[in-house]
Amino acid sequence: MEKSYIVKQISIFSENRPGRLAAIAGALRDAGINIFAFSIAEANGFGVVRALVDRPEDAYRRLTDLGFRVSFTDVIGVKMRDEPGGLSDIASVLGNAGINIEYAYAYSGKDGAVLILRVDQIEDAVRQLLGHGGNLLKASLSQ
C-alpha cells in the first residue's frame, strides 16, 4: 500500500563547473524525457542534481551510458495547498510523528503545488500523511 506512493527520484553526481547541468538536461531532452521537478545540492566542489522525471529507468540508462554516476533515491511527493499554511500542515504532521526531513524541494504545476520529500522513515511518512488526509503522488505517475 505505502509502496505505491514511493517515487523514484534520480540523483546524478556532477562536478561544480559550467555546463554540467546543461549536459544532463540536454541528454534528457534528447531522450524525450520530461522533468517534473529538480533541485541541485552543492558541496565542496561537486553537487548532486536531483530530478523527478516521467521515465526514471530510461533516464538512468541514458545518463549512465553517457558516463554519469546516477542512482535512484526513494522520495514522496505531497500535494500542497498553494496558500499560507500549506507547507506548515505537512511539516507538522511529520514533525509530530518524529519523522525527520532530510531534504525537500517543491514545484508548482497545473495541478497545484507539490512538495518532494526525502525522509528517514519513508513508509511511516506515507502512512502519517495519508492518515491526515494528505494527497500523495502515485509512483505510477513516473514509470
In the set 70, 78, 94, 136, which binds other proteins (CB under 8 A)? Answer: 70
Q: Of the two residues 45 and 84, which places its CB atom closer to other proteins in the complex?
A: 45
Return the C-alpha cell found at 87: 507547507
Position 18 contacts other proteins (CB under 8 A): no
Dihedral sign for Cα 52, 53, 56, 61, please: negative
Q: Of the two residues 14 and 128, which places its CB atom closer to other proteins in the complex?
A: 14
List C-alpha distances in Å: 17 to 3, 44, 117: 37, 12, 27
Stretch touching other proteins by CB under 8 A, among 38-46, 83-91, 109-117, 125-133: 38-46
Residues in contact with other proteins by CB under 8 A are: 11, 13-15, 20, 41, 43-48, 67-73
